[in-house]
Amino acid sequence: MLGNLKPLEIVLILLVVVLLFGAKKLPDMARSLGKSARILKSEAKAMKNDDATAESTAAPQETAAPRTIQAAPGDTTSARPVAEPADRTQG
């Protein structure tokens, strides 16, 4: 469907989007979309790390300060601790 769009049609769609939402709200929308993408990426990575640590119970756990994932620089309200993956290069 999107492969059949011509450049003029894409420009018209973008113009309609700007008219509907206004030029002032577009940067905020893009910022929130980027924030959502970062959160989704970090959650997916955390789920993979959780699965990997659950499978490898033989790896010793080090006691270090936990890292946190922040959705945006300076955003401390949505920060959460993250478990570091086990170092599998040493054996």
pLDDT at 14 over 60: yes
Average pLDDT over the chain, rounded to whole? 77
Comparing 50 with 75, the larger pLDDT belongs to 50
CA pair distance 48, 54, nearest whole angstrom: 10
pTM of the model: 0.41
Alpha helical stretches, state H, the chain: 7-21, 26-55
CA pair distance 49, 62, nearest whole angstrom: 16
Q: Is 72 helix (H, G, I), strand (E, B) or coil?
A: coil
Inter-residue contact 79 to 42 (CB < 8 Å)? no
Residue with tokens 């790896």: 59
CA pair distance 53, 35, nearest whole angstrom: 27
* Residues 30-63: tens digit of each pLDDT: 899 999 999 999 999 999 888 877 776 545 555 6
